[in-house]
Amino acid sequence: MKFLDQAKINIKAGNGGSGSASFRREKFIEYGGPDGGDGGDGGSIIIESERNLNTLIDFRYSQHFKAQNGKHGSKRNKTGANGKDTILKVPVGTQIYEEDNNTLIYDFTKNKEKYLVASGGKGGLGNVRFKSSTNRAPKKKTNGKIGEEFWIWLQLKVIADIGIIGQPNAGKSSLLAALTKAKPKIADYPFTTINPNLGVAYYGGKEITLADIPGLVEGAHKGVGLGDKFLRHIERCKLLLHLIDLSEESLIDNYKKIKLELVNYDKNLGKKKELIFFNKSDLLKKNDITRKVKEFEKKIKAKCEVISVFSNDDIQKIKKLLSKYAY
């Protein structure tokens, strides 16, 4: 399934049905009086969150959504039927924005949340409503109101307990695959991952949701590389798992570049709780690993873990740490 985390759609609620200007006409009843019924209300547009969805791809090919109009009123005081609501399903984590793509309308953070985003028009009144002691045969009736219509933006922010970040080719997808049953694309070249991948890990009876965020590079907050379009997916994570390729030479510079991109995008991202893991320990000698880790911890003043995604012992160690920090 293709991933899409932003879509612009047009929504149109149903119009209300018009009231009826009808008079009772029966044999032997000379003055039957008014009997025009009211019009039905137009259907509304309702958006509902669904945890089994993880993309907005359905809104790429269909951008216009309409609810049913209310039926007109008719004789014998018959009220028109209400129009049927249109319910749009979106993934949990979706936000609704106005057409300016800046003003937030609603934020879906739980499963099966519903939000009425466009109200249907009220039905018109039949002429029986205007009968009075001074006007026994009113011909007046009202038309139904027009349903709301406008454009909105849908933006998806992946909801995960832990976001796996790091430069391209650090082994994020391999780690996600080892920790969960997710099957992200894995290959030995940068930018293999072009979409956030989600997976669920289980440890000690706890369920932990992880997101593999596409590789960040210098200038990502300005749109360089895969751009800032995926940085929003980190905002909801409780914990960041910063994965660094131990075989690289400039470990400190690489770490600082990623941290700078997070802060430049949103200062709060730089304050998130973080675990640092050095990956690909199977490619280096023990002395080289010790030297690199000591130098890094001295400069950054942070405790680090050395792992290999191909070591089952390391994977169990990671799960234990994540279950401790994610709650």
Which of the two residues, 172 and 80, has the higher pLDDT score? 80
Burial of 314-324, coded b for 16+ CB within 10 Å and e otherwise, reads bbeebbebbbe
HEC string of 137-188 equals CCCCCCCCCCCCEEEEEEEECCCCCEEEECCCCCCHHHHHHHHCCCCCCCCC
Question: What confidence score (pLDDT) does residue 226 get?
Answer: 45
Question: Per residue in 229-244, pLDDT tens?
Answer: 567 777 888 889 999 9
Which contiguous run of DSSP H or E holds residue 257?
helix 251-265
- Set out the domains of the chain in order of their start, with CATH numbers: 1-156 (2.70.210.12), 162-325 (3.40.50.300)
Question: What confidence score (pLDDT) does residue 41 get?
Answer: 97
Please, are residues 261 and 218 in contact by the beta-carbon 8 Å criterion? yes
Which of 38, 325, 292 is CA-nearest to residue 201? 325
Q: Supply the Cα-derived Rg of the chain in whole angstroms.
A: 29
For the purposes of burial, counting CB atoms within 10 Å of the CB of 86, is it exposed (0-12), middle (13-18) or buried (19 or more)? buried
Which of the two residues, 197 and 152, has the higher pLDDT score? 152
Which of 253, 265, 262, 325 is CA-nearest to residue 295? 253
| Amino acid identity for residue 224 in this structure | V
Mean pLDDT (whole number) for 51-71: 91
The backbone torsions φ and ψ at residue 128, rounded to the nearest 5 degrees and listed phi first, read -65, -25
Predicted TM-score (pTM) of the model is: 0.74
Largest CA distance in the chain: 110
pLDDT tops 50 at residue 227 = no
Question: Per residue in 277-290, pLDDT tens?
Answer: 999 998 889 899 99
Question: Per residue in 67-95, pLDDT tens?
Answer: 999 999 999 899 999 999 999 999 999 99
Ranked by mean pLDDT, which of 169-173, 266-270, 309-313 comes out on top?
Answer: 309-313
Please, are residues 83 and 68 in contact by the beta-carbon 8 Å criterion? yes
